[in-house]
Amino acid sequence: MPPARTSVLALPASTPAAVPAAPARRAAAIVAVVIAVAGLLVTLGFTIADEPPAALHAHGGLAIFLGNVTGMVGTYLALIQVLLASRIPPVEHVLGLDGLIRWHRRVGPWPISLLTVHAVALTIGYAQAAKTGLMHEVGTLVGSYPGLLAAFVALGLMLLAGFASVRAVRRRLRRETWWAIHLYLYLAIALSFTHVLVLGPEFVGHPVVKVVWWVVWLATAGSVLVFRFGLPAARSLRHRLVVWEVRRETPDTVSIICRGRNLERLHVQGGQFALWRFMARDLWWQAHPYTVSGLPQRSFMRLTVKNVGDHSKALASLRRGTRVAFEGPYGVFTAEARRHARVALIAAGAGVTSLRPVLEKLPAGTDPVVVLRASRADGMPLRDEVAALVDEKNGALHELYGSRRAQLLDGRRLRQLIPDIRARDVYVSGPEDFVNAVTDAVRRLGVPTDAVHHEAYAL
Ligand SMILES: Cc1cc2nc3c(=O)[nH]c(=O)nc-3n(C[C@H](O)[C@H](O)[C@H](O)COP(=O)(O)OP(=O)(O)OC[C@H]3O[C@@H](n4cnc5c(N)ncnc54)[C@H](O)[C@@H]3O)c2cc1C
SS (H, E, C) 330-371: ECCCCHHHCCCCEEEEEEEHHHHHHHHHHHHHCCCCCCCEEE
Which of 270, 87, 83, 275 minimizes the C-alpha distance to 185?
A: 83
Which of 320, 389, 386 minimizes the C-alpha distance to 352?
A: 386
- Dihedral sign (CA 414, 415, 417, 418): positive
pLDDT for residue 19 is more than 70? no
β-bridge mates for residue 190, sequence order = none
pTM of the model: 0.87
Indicate the helix (H) or strand (E) that contains 183: none
Least confident range of 63-72, 206-215, 225-234, 344-353: 206-215
413 — pLDDT class (breaks 50, 70, 90): very high
Atom 51 (ligand 1) nearest CA:
457
Full 3-state SS string of 303-340: EEEECCCHHHHHHHHCCCCCEEEEEEEECCCCHHHCCC
17 — pLDDT class (breaks 50, 70, 90): low
CA distance to 63, 260, 431, per residue, from 140 (Å): 17, 59, 53
b/e string for 223-245 if b means 16 or more Cβ within 10 A? Answer: bbeebbeeebeebbeebebbbbe
18 — pLDDT class (breaks 50, 70, 90): low
Does 288 contact ligand 1 (Cβ within 6 A)?
A: yes
Strands (DSSP E) found in 379-456? 396-401, 424-430, 452-456
Q: Which CATH architecture has domain 5-20+338-456?
A: 3-Layer(aba) Sandwich (3.40)
Mutational pocket test of ligand 1: of 176, 275, 311, the residue with most ligand atoms within 8 Å of the beta carbon = 311
- pLDDT value of residue 247: 96
Contact by Cβ (8 Å): 283, 245: no
Instruction: Using the mean position of ligand 1's atoms as its centre, give its distance from the Cα of residue 177 in Å.
Output: 16
Percentage of the chain surpassing pLDDT 70? 92
What number does CATH give the domain 240-330?
2.40.30.10
Instruction: Using the mean position of ligand 1's atoms as its centre, give its distance from the Cα of residue 351 in Å.
Output: 11
26 — pLDDT class (breaks 50, 70, 90): low
pLDDT for residue 81 is more than 50? yes
Each residue of 327-382: pLDDT tens digit?
999 999 999 999 899 999 999 999 999 999 999 999 989 999 999 999 988 889 99
- pLDDT value of residue 12: 37
Mutational pocket test of ligand 1: of 173, 288, 313, the residue with most ligand atoms within 8 Å of the beta carbon = 288
Instruction: Please give the Cα distance from 404 to 398 (Å, whole number).
Output: 15
- pLDDT value of residue 212: 72
Each residue of 305-325: pLDDT tens digit?
999 999 999 999 999 999 999
β-bridge mates for residue 369, sequence order = 344, 396
Average pLDDT over residues 20-39: 73
- Dihedral sign (CA 40, 91, 273, 366): negative
Instruction: Please give the Cα distance from 301 to 240 (Å, whole number).
Output: 12
Average pLDDT over residues 275-301: 94
- Dihedral sign (CA 419, 16, 271, 28): positive
Which of 433, 291, 281 minimizes the C-alpha distance to 348?
A: 433
At 20 the three-state DSSP class reads: coil
pLDDT for residue 292 is more than 50? yes
Average pLDDT over residues 162-186: 88
The runs of H, that is alpha helices, within 166-295 are 167-172, 175-182, 184-203, 207-223, 231-239
Q: Which atom of ligand 1 is nearest to the CA of 179?
A: 41
